[in-house]
Amino acid sequence: MSKSILFVITNHDTITNDIKTGFWLEELSVPYDRFKEKGYDITLSSPEGGKVPVDPNSISSKEELASAEALLKQCERTERLANIDVSQFDAIFLPGGHGTMFDFPDHEPLIDAVESLIAQNKVVAAVCHGPAGLVNVKDKDGNPLVAGKRVSAFTDSEEKAVDMVEYMPFLLESKLRELGAEVITVEDWQGHVEVDGTLVTGQNPQSSQGVAEEVIKILQR
């Protein structure tokens, strides 16, 4: 029986008048393509539904844009997360991009979806800024989901390197540590993935492939 993956993608597209944001293309396209290769059923959703914006800075070349053309067309008509029965999915995947820092943390349907899947021992995966969707998630005892868990995410150092610290509502690495997570990171821009039970997290765009591979490993058990 085919596995099914629910992607949740940010709708947030603007930080300032001069700074556009959205999802980071590699963090969606690489896992998406890998899951398609495995024959998994994939649903693209977002907090508001409809079109999701790709961060213009995440498009490195015309070739990359061309290779993702079919996927980007799908990104014009994502399903509204609140309308989805998440119980039918084997895994939820949260690609990053700075947009997630604004519409993921307090989005109740996303919080509910992650809590529901974790309670069913299903896979919850997030990469780069995607773990912003975990910061207000609780476990069955009402404690922060990430407390005591090994996780990775976009680091404070990487945030400084891209000159985005002043624009963020919080620093993701620091927030996860405040919540009691054991945040494990490596050198900036090196791929790194942490797996704790069915929770899979990656540090940065370079971790996208690794996160996808770990999700596949769990789903094949």
User: What would the pLDDT profile of 8-17 be if each residue is shown by its tens digit?
Assistant: 999 999 999 9
Structural domain range at position 133? 4-219
User: What would the pLDDT profile of 148-206 be if each residue is shown by its tens digit?
Assistant: 999 999 999 999 999 999 999 999 999 999 999 999 999 999 999 999 999 999 999 99
User: What would the pLDDT profile of 107-155 be if each residue is shown by its tens digit?
Assistant: 999 999 999 999 999 999 999 999 999 999 999 999 999 999 999 999 9
Other CB atoms within 10 A of residue 58 CB: 20
Q: How many structural domains compose the chain?
A: 1
Tell me the three state secondary structure of residue 64: helix
Helix axes 25-37, 208-219, angle to 10 degrees: 30
> At 170, which CATH number?
3.40.50.880
